[in-house]
Amino acid sequence: MSDSLLTVANVTKNFKDVVALDNVSVEFYSGEVVGLVGGNGAGKTTLLRLLCGLYHPSDGRVFGSISQKEVDVHKMRGEIGVVPESTGLYSRLTAWENIRYHSRLNGVDDDNSWARALRFAKLLNFDDDLHRATRGFSRGMRQKTALIRALAHGPPILLLDEPTGGLDVTSARMVRKLVRKLGDEGGTVIYSTHHLAEAQQVCDRIVIIHNGTIRANGTPKSLMESTSTDSLEDAYVSLTQDESRSNETETEGRMEKAWRKMFTRKGDSNE
């Protein structure tokens, strides 16, 4: 087994009287693509926000490893790239200026940032658009910009929240191809999605979250074998037969503002 990079240990996260995550424990290892699979309100985004240090657990710990030393996840922000569901770009800046600004915040000089940005832009067929202002970008173009922004400072860990949601078929395929390439090159990608076919195609390991608890954690093959099913969809249904809870686990407006605040000033997003 590869080295553990992030550990969620007996974590509970409450929002007033709502339990978004209930005593969750899971580890993420170097060089794997992990799918967080679950329906709306399952707890996927809450877990991602804990993993990047945006939230503090109500109980339990989230920590990681830097140079074989255990540290709180809040001290690992430079090691983590994040692509939230709302990309939160500065609409008055070009794609490259958005990427460069984020890289400078992480202490990366412009030459290295540009080299990495250009490499990933070419993989996403986006290099001709780097110097265009993001105002008026399509959903796919914004998503590509956000993905390159998250990768330009060279983080060993990438967190993706529904990265292909709302994308056309071609753009979604490019994103999946890039994610798989990052995993094959030794990167660690934690990939939140409710698309089971996509998770089976891209991910080495699947973590099924339902009603704030982890129902399964294993390879797609092992999940199908353990449930005596022939598809990941059937395995998921078998493991989540109880009714899904309401999606009202958070005050959406306040939490979305906090999620965006990592990247933009108030009122400067083009979403």
User: What are the structure tokens assigned to 211, written together?
Assistant: 């009603």
Query: What does the radius of gyration of the chain's CA atoms come to, in whole angstroms?
Result: 18
Residue with tokens 């109500």: 58
Torsion angle, CA of 160/250/253/244, rounded to 10 degrees?
70
Asked if 199 and 205 touch (Cβ cutoff 8 Å), the reply is no
Q: What is the pLDDT of residue 1?
A: 47
The fourth-level CATH superfamily of domain 4-90+145-261 is P-loop containing nucleotide triphosphate hydrolases (3.40.50.300)
139 CB neighbour count, 10 Å cutoff: 14
pTM: 0.85
pLDDT of 68 strictly over 90: no
Asked if 134 and 270 touch (Cβ cutoff 8 Å), the reply is yes
Average pLDDT (171-199) is: 90
User: What are the structure tokens assigned to 219, written together?
Assistant: 């390879």
Domains in the chain: boundaries? 4-90+145-261
Average pLDDT (171-181) is: 90
**What is the residue type of 214?**
I
Average pLDDT (8-24) is: 94
DSSP string, 108-156: --HHHHHHHHHHHHHHTT-GGGTTSBSTT--HHHHHHHHHHHHHTT--S
pLDDT of 38 strictly over 70: yes
Dihedral sign of CA atoms 164, 82, 55, 271 in order: negative
256 CB neighbour count, 10 Å cutoff: 17
Asked if 217 and 38 touch (Cβ cutoff 8 Å), the reply is no
Give residue-wise pLDDT tens across range 84-126: 888 889 999 999 999 999 999 989 999 999 999 999 999 999 9
DSSP string, 87-104: ---BTTSBHHHHHHHHHH
Residue 124 CA to its chain's centroid (Å): 18
